Amino acid sequence: MSEFPVAVRRPAGLYLDLLKNCLTRVLFPDRGLDHDLVTTSPVVLADRLEGKDWPTEAETMVGIRRLDQLEACMVNALENGVPGDFVETGVWRGGASILMRAVLKAYGDCDRRVWLADSFQGLPLPDPARYPQDAGDGHHQLSGYLAIPLEEVQANFRRYGLLDEQVCFLPGWFKDTLPSAPIAQISVLRLDGDMYESTMEALEYLYPRVSDGGFIVVDDYGALPNCRAAIEDFRSACGITEPVVRIDWTGVFWQKGHFAPRSPLGPAGDGIGGDEELNATDSDFDEEFYLALNPDVAQAVLQGHFHSAREHFFKYGRAEGRRLR
């Protein structure tokens, strides 16, 4: 975890920080889960921050770091007028999607919708004839933990006062629900279906609907080789050249198209720097996460306006109060 204290935030950011701490149970520690695949007993706070464990009570297994970055993508899309809804494929207990709805509420957006695509009965049996990369995948055997009924997800939204007509559910297997899903445009597409099949189907059916300047956020690129293979195969088949940016040990994202941010060097996001950030020393700087949290800086670095995130931060970002975490 970064040593920088949280920057002074506007009320919207403060609400979202509190929500993320609740959804992950960083605030109210989770009991953790002992499991063949992942052991989290006793609960280690660092694991919750990085989303490395399988929680018992938290509404999301995604850690704070990836949720911070998801928020940054959504806020970037809202502030830059990138059209389209927010979509998550693979929602489990709904936590990341609850954050999506909360961002719309916090920023006063009453038009966009949040779409949740899930079987609400766990992952499918592998289909190695069509997707050899999924041969032997055992996620379907974990339905005792991974199958969360729609009603439970809805109850989780209700718990946070966020279940309303801007939240839409697509119950069923992706291959059945996504082709005809009534989603016109997408500004943030979050992929969390774990398997090759689930990742590939989400991309095939939804990527064409992602707006120029929209974001594709992938949860399991680092953790699951079959998910990573689907991303690489799809990008290569479609000739996608926008670079993949790392978020943390497993998450990545890329921004679609050659989108010019309104103000590549101007203030962005919700952060207003505190004294500690102004005093940040070169050695404290987390290059990778600064790029993940500031997608417009990632673009500016990729376009050659800056040699590095570090250069941007110490020339502009520090004075602008850019978020470091």
Ligand X SMILES: C[S@@+](CC[C@H](N)C(=O)[O-])C[C@H]1O[C@@H](n2cnc3c(N)ncnc32)[C@H](O)[C@@H]1O
Q: Which is nearer to ligand X, 173 or 249 (CB)?
A: 173
Q: Under the criterion CB under 6 A, does residue 92 sit at the interface with ligand X? A: yes
Using the rule CB under 6 A, give the single segment among 26-34, 38-46, 117-125, 234-242 that binds ligand X.
Answer: 117-125
Q: Which is nearer to ligand X, 122 or 274 (CB)?
A: 122
Q: Which is nearer to ligand X, 174 or 290 (CB)?
A: 174
Which of 32, 63, 84, 95 forms a contact with ligand X (CB under 6 A)? 95
Residue pair 188/215 in contact by the 8 Å Cβ criterion:
yes
Distance CA 165, CA 127 (A): 35
From the list 67, 51, 104, the residue with the least C-alpha distance to 325 is: 67
State the chain's maximal CA–CA distance in angstroms: 58
Q: Under the criterion CB under 6 A, does residue 166 sit at the interface with ligand X? A: no
Q: Minimal distance in Å, beta carbon 149 to ligand X? A: 10
Q: Under the criterion CB under 6 A, does residue 131 sit at the interface with ligand X? A: no
Query: Backbone dihedral region of 95: left (phi > 0), alpha (psi from -120 to 50 degrees) or beta?
Result: alpha
Distance CA 70, CA 158 (A): 21
Which of 13, 32, 84, 124 forms a contact with ligand X (CB under 6 A)? 124
Distance CA 51, CA 101 (A): 20
From the list 144, 26, 161, the residue with the least C-alpha distance to 92 is: 144
H or E element at residue 259: none
From the list 227, 240, 229, 162, the residue with the least C-alpha distance to 195 is: 227
Q: Minimal distance in Å, beta carbon 193 to ligand X? A: 4
Using the rule CB under 6 A, give the single segment among 24-32, 101-109, 189-197, 228-236 that binds ligand X.
Answer: 189-197
Which of 146, 186, 203, 217 forms a contact with ligand X (CB under 6 A)? 146
Which of 24, 76, 119, 133 forms a contact with ligand X (CB under 6 A)? 119
**Rule CB under 6 A: which residues touch ligand X?**
60-62, 90-92, 95-96, 118-119, 122-124, 146, 148, 173-174, 192-195, 197-198
